[in-house]
């Protein structure tokens, strides 16, 4: 009998076993808003956001990753929707900060809109999640940019000339573009680069956007003085 008591104390079998960390499990609340969105529309919108961030979203994976938690509140495991390891590491930063916030601590959930704002709509979080190269040189190295260039004097996006470089591609995932925004004009050979807008494709088929400054480093948004390109998302 004494040996059983001693064994129980050594093994601490009467104490709760520590739970595994929740990792990318997050409680979120959604609101219908003035547009009176339905739950189905919310799920479609969420799927589009996750897809735009690179989630593979295999058939049925979103449904399996979500469980109802309360009225307009659901739990989602973001590790179950097909994000790459790099994307999961980037998402962990957002999830941890949301969970550590006073609002989450008080309500045990965050708002779906806040999650979107901190991922798809937050430029540098977006860059990290979609694994956008930190430099223009790095972006070029992922593709085959050779001689194909298009000079655009009157752009529907930019108020200044653009030089468009088109990557060599035999399949869709090799498609890529670099748009160099610049002052001056092509006729007088006075075109001078200011910044660079790029896009290619994520493995799931969604577009991946990036903006680089004159030094070739990622930047948050295009310069509105010259272009209406805006920012990723």
pLDDT of residue 218: 98
pLDDT of residue 208: 97
SS3 116: helix
Q: Are residues 55 and 117 in the same domain?
A: yes
Question: Using CA atoms, how far apart are residues 4 and 22, in angstroms rounded to an integer?
Answer: 34
Per the CB < 8 A criterion, the answer to whether 175 and 205 are in contact is no
For residue 2, tell me if it sits in a domain: no
How far, in Å, are 27, 63, 65, 77, 96 from residue 105 at the CA level? 11, 26, 22, 18, 12
Q: Are residues 38 and 98 in the same domain?
A: yes
What is the DSSP track for 127-190? HHHHT--SBHHHHHHTS-EEEEEEEESS-SSBSS-EEEEEE--SSGGG--EEEEEEES-TTTT-
Query: Which of 77, 99, 130 is the C-terminal boundary of a domain?
Result: 130
Question: Using CA atoms, how far apart are residues 135 and 137, in angstroms rounded to an integer?
Answer: 5
What's the domain range around 194? 136-212
Q: Are residues 80 and 180 in the same domain?
A: no
For residue 164, tell me if it sits in a domain: yes
Q: Which two tokens stand for residue 230?
A: 């805006």
Query: Which of 99, 114, 130 is the C-terminal boundary of a domain?
Result: 130
Q: Are residues 56 and 143 in the same domain?
A: no
Query: Which of 95, 111, 130 is the C-terminal boundary of a domain?
Result: 130
Q: Are residues 99 and 164 in the same domain?
A: no
Question: Using CA atoms, how far apart are residues 84 and 58, in angstroms rounded to an integer?
Answer: 13
Q: Are residues 55 and 116 in the same domain?
A: yes
Q: Which two tokens stand for residue 89?
A: 């590491």
For residue 125, tell me if it sits in a domain: yes
How far, in Å, are 80, 120, 137 from residue 227 at the CA level? 38, 21, 22
Q: Are residues 175 and 197 in the same domain?
A: yes
pTM of this structure: 0.86
Q: Which two tokens stand for residue 64?
A: 């399996």
Q: Are residues 159 and 107 in the same domain?
A: no
Q: Are residues 116 and 185 in the same domain?
A: no
* Predicted confidence pLDDT, tens digits, the chain (233 residues): 333 333 333 334 333 333 444 699 999 999 887 778 899 999 999 999 999 999 999 999 999 999 988 789 999 999 999 999 999 999 999 999 999 999 999 999 999 999 999 999 999 999 999 999 999 999 999 999 987 899 988 777 888 889 999 999 999 999 999 999 999 988 899 999 999 999 999 999 999 999 999 999 999 999 998 888 889 88
Q: Are residues 111 and 78 in the same domain?
A: yes
């Amino acid at each position: 009998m004494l040996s059983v008591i001693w064994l129980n104390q050594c093994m601490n079998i009467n104490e709760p076993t520590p739970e595994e960390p929740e990792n990318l499990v997050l409680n979120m609340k959604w609101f219908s808003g003035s547009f009176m969105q339905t739950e189905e529309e919310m799920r479609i919108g969420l799927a589009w956001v996750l897809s735009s961030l690179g989630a593979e979203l295999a058939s049925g994976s979103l449904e399996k990753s979500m469980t109802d938690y309360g009225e307009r509140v659901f739990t989602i495991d973001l590790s179950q929707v097909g994000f790459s390891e790099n994307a999961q590491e980037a998402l962990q930063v957002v999830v941890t900060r949301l969970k550590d916030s006073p609002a989450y601590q008080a309500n045990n959930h965050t708002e779906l809109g806040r999650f979107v704002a901190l991922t798809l709509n937050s430029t540098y979080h977006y860059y990290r999640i979609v694994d956008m190269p930190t430099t223009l040189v790095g972006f070029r190295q992922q593709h085959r940019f050779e001689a194909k260039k298009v000079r655009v004097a009157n752009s529907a996006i930019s108020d200044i000339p653009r030089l468009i470089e088109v990557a060599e591609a035999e399949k869709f995932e090799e498609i890529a573009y670099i748009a160099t925004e610049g002052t001056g004009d092509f006729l007088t050979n006075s075109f001078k680069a200011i910044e660079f807008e790029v896009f290619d494709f994520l493995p799931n088929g969604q577009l991946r956007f990036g903006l680089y400054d004159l030094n070739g480093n990622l930047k948050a948004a295009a310069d509105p003085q010259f272009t209406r390109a805006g920012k990723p998302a």
